[in-house]
Structure 1
Amino acid sequence: MSKVLVIGAGGVGSVAVHKMAMNPQIFSDVHLASRTKSKCDAIAESVKSRTGQTVSTYAIDAEDVPALTALIQEIGPKLVVNLALPYQDLTIMDACLAAGVHYMDTANYEPKDVAKFEYHWQWAYQDRFKQAGLMALLGSGFDPGVTSVFAMWLKKHKLKTIRTLDILDCNGGDHGQAFATNFNPEINIREVTAPARHWANGDWVETPAMTIRQNFDFEGVGPKNMYLMYHEELESLAKFVPELERARFWMTFGDAYIQHLTVLQNVGMTRIDPVLYNGQEIIPLQFLKAVLPEPASLGPTTQGKTNIGDIATGESLDGSGDKTFYIYNICDHEDAYHETGNQAVSYTTGVPAMIGAAMILTGAWSSEGVFNIEQFDPDPFMDMLNQHGLPWQVKELAGPLQF
């Protein structure tokens, strides 16, 4: 019997719990907790109607370590899957250590008061998890997550070395809103407005946010403008693929999104420092999040596809010289909604969260300490992607991206 506790009742949590319920041979007993129990109850009701499986629900403040520890001990799961906000990673890791259970997440820690996401805070838990005989798996979403597994699969099956790597994240979906984000608005906007960084020749190169743009023709979507950004898998890939000479992350944004975001920045609505309003301190970005559409509500109206993948160049395993491979997944927003009631951006993160949890619960990935997804055999994870809604394909290109 494999009992699991999922924390977080947004779109990603909803997809992960639906997919867990669809695989009762692995997830025999699923529990869901968040600050707002009614959100958990709505997901549980959807799961029951779609799969017949029962999900137990709870209210919890994930930043209250004693209360969370007590809840974990009460439920007794083998694994806690953290699909809450990145601010809460460390408190949930603390509770897992206190309760003696394995830990997994999809995004690395970020302090509330600084728009800076790095792995060092979580890597510092290595000795504590190892001494406790527990495993913490970091970054089992799509990016980070699948994009890193894609790179390691190429390194295992196609390339002896990876010298250049470009990660391309395209959302070609249209939700019909004037301005909305496809995942948590606070996290999304903090990411997008942060300075861009990429890895080049053993160091980080920083450029102003959203200033480097290229056009790329995405299969299933068409030509889109994509922007150079910093994303956390660059940090772990630079660590675990030591021969990397250059690694970049690109994400597509439409002109309307850029225009809205520019105005919001210019008037101070993306600030994360407190301002005084009617005698109360408020965070402008948190207020903006409250008035924007809830990402989980976008499923019924979103049409189109996502296309996310890696373009990697290096020395071929077969000894035939340098080769370039493009490995990617295309996901349809309407198909994702039909299956789980959520759009494809939530789906492409929630499915890998389920798969990462399955890797731990089945013992396919097993060790003691804190690990990134790049450190394990990619094959069983890649097999489950094909089986559970995120089929991938790989093709050889004439050469690396010429920009």
Structure 2
Amino acid sequence: MNKVLVIGAGGVGSVVIHKMVQLSDIFADITLASRRIFKCDEIAASVKERTGVTIKTAEVDADDVEALSALIDKLGVSLVVNVALPYQDLNIMDACLKSGVNYLDTANYEPRDVAKFEYSWQWAYQQRFEEAGLMALLGSGFDPGVTNIYTAYAKKHLLDRIDTLDILDCNGGDHGQHFATNFNPEINIREVTAPVHHWEKGEWVTTPAMSNKQPFDFPAVGEKNMYQMYHEELESLVKHLPEIKRARFWMTFGDAYIKHLEVLQNVGMTRIDPVMYEGKEIIPLQFLKAVLPNPGDLGKTTKGKTCIGNIMTGEKDGKEKTVYVYNICDHEECFAEVGSQAVSYTTGVPAMIGAALMLSGQWSGKGVFNMEQLDPDPFMDMLNKHGLPWEAHELDKPLDF
């Protein structure tokens, strides 16, 4: 019987649990753990009400390797699904090695005091996981995650060679708030305000944050302004598909979001270094997170759709070809099914699918793996079956920007 431990009781963790109980033949025994057990109990109550399935809950500090390892041993799980904060990735990986269990996450490690996406810390675990006979799957969310799989699928079925890759992430939803982030505010704002890196002709090119804006007409959403950003899947994709000459990541933001973010930056509220306040050190961005709306509560009011996908240009049978592979997800439909908005849904469903493929043995290996290193076909098939259907279309020409 497969036993799994999910760490993290935010919006993504809730989706993961709600989707896992739909596959009882794979996820026979599920425990949800977090530093705040009452959040786990709330999710467990929702699952019980919606599906009649009972899951276990536990309290654990994911920064405490010894305590987490003890919990893993007590539960007897074979897989840990990490949907906690990316700061905790390495500690959770250490606990998995200590207890001899497989590992999965949705976002790469980053240190608390530096807003920096980099896989080097986790890739450094390759030998330890390989020697232990264990598998660590990195980035099984949407972006990273599904976007990596889209690239691998295109290389396997649609293009003989990929020359350019553009990942386009559009959230066309409206939550009715003056300013709110659709996932953890601290992580979101760190991403948006960081310098931009993109891959061009064998090297990383750096530009200022939010300095490159392009309009794009998204399927089922319409025209939105998108801004070039850096995202971690670019690093792994250009490593594992070195043929790629240019790789970029884009995300849409409304004018109101940009205006609020500029003001918050100008007054120092997005800082991640400590400042003294009434004799105590506080991190301005963490304080801002505390006063902003909880992303997990936005599902009740969010309407509209997301559209996330890859535009890839390369060669097929000796001719230039451009393909667009994408998913459209409806916020209200997600909330009706699992009580969460689409941003949490699009991350949580791929985490469940990655876990299912590992537990069923369709994906296996020893060491540390990024998504594009594995067979994309079973993952793409499960996306269609479990709420994230995809479309693939040939475009008339490459992007003109």
Coarse TM-score class (shorter-chain normalised): over 0.9
After the TM superposition, which residues 3-22 of structure 1 pair with which residues of structure 2 at under 5 Å, given as runs?
Answer: 3-22=3-22
Structure 2: distance between partners of 1:246 and 1:220 = 27
Which amino acid in 1 is paired with 2:308?
I
What do you get for the CA RMSD once the two structures are aligned? 0.5
Structure 2: distance between partners of 1:51 and 1:182 = 26
Match of 2:282 in 1: 282
Structure 1: distance between partners of 2:148 and 2:69 = 31
| 1:348 aligned residue (343, 346, 349) | 346
Structure 1: distance between partners of 2:397 and 2:350 = 29
The C-alpha deviation readout for 1:76-127, integer Å capped at 9, x for no partner, is 1110000000000000000000001000000000000001021000000000
Match of 2:80 in 1: 80
Which amino acid in 2 is paired with 1:370?
V
Q: Secondary structure at the match of 2:161?
A: coil
Match of 1:305 in 2: 305
Match of 1:135 in 2: 135
| 1:337 aligned residue (335, 338, 348) | 335
How far is 1:320 from its partner?
4.6
After the TM superposition, which residues 30-49 of structure 1 pair with which residues of structure 2 at under 5 Å, given as runs?
Answer: 30-49=30-49
The C-alpha deviation readout for 1:300-341, integer Å capped at 9, x for no partner, is 00000000000001111xx15110000000000000000000
Which amino acid in 2 is paired with 1:305?
K
After the TM superposition, which residues 211-250 of structure 1 pair with which residues of structure 2 at under 5 Å, given as runs?
Answer: 211-250=211-250
Structure 2: distance between partners of 1:51 and 1:14 = 13
Match of 2:165 in 1: 165
How far is 1:53 from its partner?
1.1
Q: Secondary structure at the match of 1:162?
A: strand
Which amino acid in 1 is paired with 2:273?
D
Gaps of 5+ in 1: none
After the TM superposition, which residues 309-320 of structure 1 pair with which residues of structure 2 at under 5 Å, given as runs?
Answer: 309-316=309-316, 319-320=317-318
Structure 2: distance between partners of 1:41 and 1:399 = 51
Structure 2: distance between partners of 1:204 and 1:327 = 25
Q: Secondary structure at the match of 2:313?
A: strand
Structure 2: distance between partners of 1:350 and 1:303 = 19
Which amino acid in 1 is paired with 2:256?
A
**1:367 equivalent in alignment to 2:365:** yes
The C-alpha deviation readout for 1:29-51, integer Å capped at 9, x for no partner, is 11000010000000000011111
Structure 2: distance between partners of 1:365 and 1:186 = 32
Structure 1: distance between partners of 2:241 and 2:366 = 21
Q: Percent identity?
A: 72
Match of 2:207 in 1: 207
Q: Secondary structure at the match of 1:163?
A: strand
Structure 1: distance between partners of 2:190 and 2:101 = 31
Which amino acid in 2 is paired with 1:302?
T
| 2:326 aligned residue (319, 325, 328) | 328
Match of 2:270 in 1: 270
How far is 1:218 from its partner?
0.5
Structure 2: distance between partners of 1:277 and 1:402 = 49
The C-alpha deviation readout for 1:171-214, integer Å capped at 9, x for no partner, is 00000000000000000000000001100000000000001000
How far is 1:52 from its partner?
1.2
Which stretches of structure 1, 4 residues or longer, exceed 3 Å deviation after superposition?
A: none
Structure 2: distance between partners of 1:297 and 1:279 = 33
Aligned residues: 401
Which amino acid in 2 is paired with 1:188?
N
